[in-house]
Amino acid sequence: MKIVLILLALLLVTATALPLLRHNQWWIRIFDFPRGQITIVGIALLALYLYFLDEKQVYESVVLGLLVLAVGFQIVKMLPYTVLMPRQVLASESRSDEAHLRLLVANVLMGNRESGAFLDIVREYDPDVILTVETDEWWEEALRSLEETYPYTLKNPLDNTYGMLLYSRLEMIDPEIRFILKDSIPSMHTQVVLPSDDRVSMHFVHPDPPNPKYATETTKRDAELLILGRETAQRDRPTIIAGDFNDVAWSYSTRLFQKASGLLDPRVGRGMYNSYNARNPLLRWPLDHVFHSDHFKLVHMERGPAWGSDHFPIFIELSLEPGAAVDQEEPDTNRTEGKQVDEKIEEGKQQTDERLP
pLDDT tens for residues 183-217? Answer: 999 999 999 999 999 999 999 999 999 888 778 99
- How is the chain split into domains, by residue range? 2-81, 100-341
- Enumerate the β-bridge partners of residue 303: 314
Segment 7-12 mean pLDDT: 95
- What is the pLDDT, as a whole number, of residue 355? 58
- What is the pLDDT, as a whole number, of residue 312? 98
Give yes or no for residue 339 having a pLDDT over 80: yes
Segment 114-130 mean pLDDT: 98
* Preceding amide of 277 cis, omega within 30: yes
Give yes or no for residue 22 having a pLDDT over 60: yes
Mean pLDDT, the chain, whole residue set: 94
Percent pLDDT > 70 in the chain is 99
- What is the pLDDT, as a whole number, of residue 353? 67
Give yes or no for residue 228 having a pLDDT over 80: yes
Give which of 81, 168, 131 is closest to 243, Cα–Cα.
Answer: 131
Please tell me which residue, 53 or 124, carries the higher pLDDT value: 124
- What is the pLDDT, as a whole number, of residue 213? 79
pLDDT band for position 77 (cuts 50, 70, 90): very high
Class at the top of the CATH hierarchy for domain 100-341: alpha beta
- What is the pLDDT, as a whole number, of residue 96? 81
Contacts of residue 109, Cβ cutoff 8 Å, sequence gap at least 6: 134, 308, 309, 310, 311
Q: Which helix (H) or strand (E) holds 105?
A: strand 100-107
Give yes or no for residue 50 having a pLDDT over 90: no
Average the pLDDT over each of 50-54, 172-176, 195-199, 228-232 and give the range with the smallest value: 50-54
- What's the CA gap between 311 and 278, in Å, rounded? 5
Q: In terms of C-beta density within 10 A (0-12 exposed, 13-18 middle, 19 or more buried), how is residue 225 classed?
A: buried
Q: At what angle do helices 35-52 and 58-78 cross, to 10 degrees?
A: 150
Segment 116-139 mean pLDDT: 98
Give yes or no for residue 219 having a pLDDT over 80: yes
Q: Of all residues in the chain, what percent are helix, strand and coil, respectively (each to 5)?
A: 40, 20, 40
Give yes or no for residue 356 having a pLDDT over 60: no
Give yes or no for residue 53 having a pLDDT over 90: no
- What is the pLDDT, as a whole number, of residue 254? 96
Tell me the pLDDT tens digit for each residue of 251-285.
999 999 999 999 999 999 999 999 999 999 999 99
Q: In terms of C-beta density within 10 A (0-12 exposed, 13-18 middle, 19 or more buried), how is residue 280 classed?
A: exposed
Tell me the pLDDT tens digit for each residue of 83-94.
999 999 999 988
- What's the CA gap between 168 and 163, in Å, rounded? 17
